[in-house]
Amino acid sequence: MKKTALITGASSGFGYEFAKIFAANGYDLVLTARNQEKLKALAAELKEKNGAEVFVIVKDLSQKDAALDIFTETEQAGIDVTVLVNNAGFGDYGRYADTDWEKQLKMVTVNIVALMQLTRLYLPQMRRRNNGKILNVASMAAFTPGPYMSVYYASKAFVLSFSEALTGELKGTGVTVTAVCPGPAATGFEKVAGSGARKLFGALTPASAKETALFSYGALTRGKIVAVPGAMNKISSIGHRFLPRSVLRAIILRLQGED
Ligand SMILES: NC(=O)c1ccc[n+]([C@@H]2O[C@H](COP(=O)([O-])OP(=O)(O)OC[C@H]3O[C@@H](n4cnc5c(N)ncnc54)[C@H](OP(=O)(O)O)[C@@H]3O)[C@@H](O)[C@H]2O)c1
């Protein structure tokens, strides 16, 4: 039986690269995002190049029950999702008191609620088959509080904590959950998050979307629980454990705060 990977946020950045990697490794695909044109073009390319069956679902994950609609569509099409990649997400830069409430709410809905709901919907069938893999895209932001991107950082802390908790429940079931925690990477993220996020990007050398996606794919296939790409990110994720919270807060504030 051919394996199928469902990838959210497949129209750009990591998700776009994940689609290419899974197709090259013999997977059929379900690709979802809002940008129909980009998804269709990618689907055509992967059908042509890899002979993959690609099912496109155009969906705004910030809308209530978008995840349920995606699940229903795959059920109706008779697709067994063997790998779920919860990748879609975005950030927003600014003093929390000045942020746009609607954008913050959408961020929480996409970064947290849709990820939770897709996991809740696809996990039972993975459990029944004793086979399945889930890749949740967290971030280095998961390890620290993030002044000026407070909700984004908190959303990624949720993703990491939630993913690790599930691995305890799933021990011995044949189903694995991997949380990947990338540092800054060259994708559409910075543009969506706003100009202030550029400071963080400017302070560090961004990785490429392709190398981050390849690293994440490797971690997923090995069933790693928490995966941090890049030596510097790894060192700082370990360093965070030994630093007092006050020092951590001060470092991120310096990196990200207003001039
Ligand atoms: N780039 C980084 O530095 C970095 C570092 C750590 C973690 N991450 C995480 O990596 C993940 C992927 O981001 P990226 O860096 O690849 O950024 P990106 O290039 O902006 O891609 C984001 C993807 O999410 C989709 N998306 C955004 N809002 C959506 C919505 N309302 N409904 C459905 N899909 C939506 C976008 O598709 P449409 O616009 O077509 O809907 C796009 O495909 C995110 O979870 C992000 O938080 C990024």
Enclosing domain of residue 228: 4-256
Give the number of domains in the chain. Answer: 1
Higher pLDDT, 251 or 212: 212
User: Number of H helices and number of E strands within the chain?
Assistant: 11, 9
Residue 85 pairs in a beta bridge with: 7, 135
Chain centroid, CA 27 distance in Å? 19
**167 CA to centre of ligand 1 in angstroms:** 24
3 state SS of 99: coil
What's the half-sphere exposure (Cβ side, CA atoms, 13 Å) at 99? 22
User: Once rounded to an integer, what is the mean pLDDT over residues 207-219?
Assistant: 97
Evaluate if residue 59 carries a pLDDT over 70.
Answer: yes
Check residue 197 and give its pLDDT: 64
Check residue 199 and give its pLDDT: 67
User: Cα angle vertex 85, ends 112, 140, to 5°?
Assistant: 60
With a 6 Å cutoff on the Cβ, whether 163 touches ligand 1 is: no
Check 93, 122, 148, 152 and give the catalytic one: 152
- pTM metric for this prediction: 0.96
φ, ψ for residue 170 (rounded to 5)? -100, 5
What band does 256 get if pLDDT is binned at 50, 70 and 90? confident
**45 CA to centre of ligand 1 in angstroms:** 21
What band does 259 get if pLDDT is binned at 50, 70 and 90? low
| 217 flagged as catalytic | no
Check residue 198 and give its pLDDT: 61
C-alpha to C-alpha distances, 88 to 18, 67, 135, 239, nearest whole angstrom: 12, 12, 11, 28
Question: HEC profile for 63-77?
Answer: CCCHHHHHHHHHHHC
CATH number of the domain that residue 202 is part of = 3.40.50.720
Cβ atoms of 78 and 28 closer than 8 Å: no
